[in-house]
Amino acid sequence: MTAASTRDADVTAYTRVCRVEDIEVEGGVAALVAGEAVAIFRTYGGNVHAMSNVDPFSRASVMSRGIVGTRQVDGCEVVFVASPMHKQAFCLRTGQCLDDAAVRIPVHDVRVVDGDVLVGPRSD
């Protein structure tokens, strides 16, 4: 997501997790949001994404430590995170596993407001 001002978004349902500069470019951080472990990533292009921190294959809470990259899928560039456990790739925007169409990680709405990263409810 790109930066938004507080006038543009009702952020009452969102949890502030950190400053955007606290997330390394092409890296991730973990946070507890409404009792759920969430992984938050910042891409080279400056976008911020959030998804469940739980790897659906290993059931370990490790996705925030995954490798962020891009892959061509059907002629489109997809930004993904690869699980540090078994290296399956998941689209950061949708949570869809790029290696197994039957698997998907829940994604969360995320906004950057005045430099703060705010994570909201699941987008699914």
* Planar angle of CA 100, 106, 107, nearest 5 degrees: 115
- Domain boundaries in the chain? 3-122
Proportion of the chain in helix, strand, coil states, percent, rounded to 5:
5, 50, 45
Q: What is the pLDDT along the chain (124 residues), one digit of tens a residue?
A: 444 434 444 667 899 999 999 999 999 999 999 999 999 999 999 999 999 999 999 999 999 999 999 999 999 999 999 999 999 999 999 999 999 999 999 999 999 999 999 999 888 6
Which phi-psi region, left, alpha or beta, contains residue 100 (left: φ > 0; alpha: ψ -120 to 50)? beta
Amino acid (one-letter) located at 91: C
CATH class of 3-122: mainly beta
Q: Look up the pTM and report it.
A: 0.88
How many angstroms from the chain centroid is the CA of residue 17? 13
Let me know: does 92 contact 81? Beta carbons within 8 Å. yes
Helix (H, G, I), strand (E, B) or coil at 64: helix
